[in-house]
Amino acid sequence: MTGIKFEQHMPTGLSTLDPVFDGGIPPGSVVLLKGDIGSGKIEFAYSSMIHLSHLMNRESTDEKVLIPKDICYITVTKRKESILREISQSFHEDFLSHIDRIHFEDLSDIYFDTSLVPITWYSEYDDIIERMTARRKIHDNLLTTLSFTLDDVPNQSLVIIDSLTEIATQYIAAGKWPDLSAYLRGMQRVAKKWNTSFYLILTKGILSPYQEIEVADAMDAVIHFKWEESSSAKRQRVLYIEKFRGVMIHLEDRDLVKFAVKITPERGFEVSNIRVVI
């Protein structure tokens, strides 16, 4: 049976999932992590970046393995401290020993500036002069600011955007959905140039079915997380690989498209039954 053959692959860091991809995903992949609330999409992103933080700064003996040079977590509405608190409450301390290797970018100022949220609720700058000075570093809209942020990320990195949900709803409200749709296709294009992979997090059901399909069409991969009732009438997290350009045909050939999921404090996100479709 023919496996998946890439010139290089970037590990997800998830030891129970990387064997499915023959070691990892093609560098330069834009991956949509789509799912129900609480279904595991955030834990997937957290676990992947935490595992990869342990591999950074190591010299790989396998030239086909591309370890990210940088891991950049971009938040649209959350504070770095809030994310780190959530991670520390969810996972074991030993698992987080290299969390300081992950760098965070906070775009919440530009996001909330167009809302009715009081400045004092989200800005770190109470003084008006300090805020105006900082404001010069922020560009005129969210996607422009995101672009300048991404330009500073080294090539061959992993970028996590938390979340596409907030960006999409803001552009829909402003009547600028075509701008976002074009931007995502541009991101999918430049990811190959930079050899940088992206995780974009999207809560299912927020966008219209048409918009959700349009977003998925602009992605290299779509991983769908959801809750299902098991045979024992218990709720079970499952992961579907709905789309993966250049990979899907090999997964379907081996019946590897749907997996049971568990999340533990010691190892984070894991899939089970990786050789059996449940």
Could you tell me which residue, 57 or 233, shows the higher pLDDT? 57
Q: Find the helix or strand (DSSP H, E) in which 96 lies.
A: none
What would the DSSP string read from start to end of 227-244?
Answer: EEE-TTS-EEEEEEEEEE
Cα 47 to Cα 44: distance, rounded to the nearest angstrom: 5
Encode pLDDT of 9-51 as tens digits.
999 999 989 988 888 999 999 999 999 999 999 999 999 999 9
Encode pLDDT of 142-151 as tens digits.
999 999 999 9
Encode pLDDT of 96-139 as tens digits.
999 999 999 999 988 988 888 888 888 876 555 455 445 545 55
Q: How far apart are the first and last CA of the chain?
A: 21
What's the whole-model pTM score? 0.90
- Residue 167 burial (C-beta neighbours within 10 Å; 0-12, 13-18, 19+): buried
How many CB atoms are located within 10 Å of the residue 144 CB? 13
Angle, vertex CA 205, rays to CA 201 and CA 209, nearest 5? 105
